[in-house]
């Protein structure tokens, strides 16, 4: 895609953003790979290095050895710790500062939208958040850093409130998505007038229903991704490109249009 094409398409997206009253951003792994986070299913994905079976809720609960392995990885700085937002996250955060963002619905578990400056209450995390830990007993939530700091002396940390099993607060295989989050995300999708899907193949369900709900409710859909998606033919604008580059260009045009 040539430079002129990119400019025309990003300007068209900017026009949709400026004219939108309720814009929903739907983000997938492709927005975070530019922060150095490998996706889960790609050639260099996380599942090429770890056994997906160790991330089933059944095995995690049943096997202290599996839990020890995962806490060891976390103690060594693995599993998405110390990552930073990139240009795409900051561009979405700028949309929010300009009053053009209703919410973000994300498949990601990296907390990068919040680190870029978007408030927690505007980010609906369908698959959880690896920067936190949850007790499977009393459901108390802890910052990940607090629990990781205990790993210097505790091989298998327990909940300090009820002695229950502690688990990273991400959705494991075999677990349901958080129903309150999914319900509110679906409601927002049915009310939005613009849905910008960034870095998602739109093939992982039920998360991928969100852009479909928006489209069926009459919203314009924008898709920014490397590789095809099942919704490409329904998109008002479809750009093949890196999230950071495309969203930076979009926000440049948005600022220009607002200043005029």
**Domains of the chain (ranges, CATH numbers):** 1-36+85-127+177-260 (3.40.50.1220), 38-82+129-170 (3.30.1600.10)
Q: Which pLDDT belongs to residue 175?
A: 93
* For residue 141, pLDDT beyond 90: yes
Distance set, CA 133 to CA 39, 109, 112, 151 (Å): 21, 12, 17, 13
16-70 residue pLDDT tens: 999 999 999 999 999 999 998 876 555 554 444 556 677 799 999 999 999 998 8
Q: Which pLDDT belongs to residue 47?
A: 44
Longest dimension (CA), the chain: 61
Predicted TM-score (pTM) of the model is 0.92
Q: Which pLDDT belongs to residue 51?
A: 67
149-168 residue pLDDT tens: 999 899 999 999 999 999 99
Q: Which pLDDT belongs to residue 34?
A: 93
Pick the catalytic residue: 89, 113, 127, 253? 127
- Mean pLDDT over all residues of the chain? 92
DSSP classification of residue 34: G
Q: Which pLDDT belongs to residue 75?
A: 85
User: Would residue 127 show up in a list of annotated catalytic residues for this protein?
Assistant: yes
């Amino acid at each position: 895609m040539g430079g002129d094409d990119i400019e025309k398409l990003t300007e068209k997206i900017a026009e949709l953003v400026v004219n939108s009253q309720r814009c929903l951003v739907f983000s997938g792994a492709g927005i975070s790979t530019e922060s150095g986070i490998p996706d889960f299913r790609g050639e260099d994905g996380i599942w090429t290095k770890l056994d997906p079976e160790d991330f089933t809720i059944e095995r995690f609960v049943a096997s202290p050895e599996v839990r020890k392995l995962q806490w060891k990885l976390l103690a060594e700085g693995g599993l998405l710790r110390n990552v930073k937002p990139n240009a795409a996250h900051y561009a979405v955060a700028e949309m929010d500062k300009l009053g053009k963002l209703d919410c973000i619905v994300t498949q990601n578990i990296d907390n990068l939208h919040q680190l870029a400056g978007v408030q927690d209450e505007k980010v609906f995390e369908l698959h959880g958040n690896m920067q936190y830990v949850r007790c499977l007993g009393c459901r108390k939530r802890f910052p990940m850093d607090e629990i990781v700091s205990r790993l210097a002396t505790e091989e298998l940390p327990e909940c300090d409130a009820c002695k229950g099993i502690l688990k990273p607060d991400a959705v494991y295989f075999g677990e349901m998505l958080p129903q309150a989050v999914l319900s509110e995300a679906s409601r927002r999708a049915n009310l939005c007038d613009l849905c910008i899907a960034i870095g998602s193949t739109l093939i992982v369900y039920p998360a991928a229903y969100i852009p479909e709900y928006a489209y069926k409710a009459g919203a314009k859909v924008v898709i920014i991704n490397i590789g095809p998606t099942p919704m490409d033919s329904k998109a008002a604008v479809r750009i093949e490109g890196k999230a950071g580059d495309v969203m930076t260009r979009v926000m440049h045009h948005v600022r220009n249009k607002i200043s005029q």
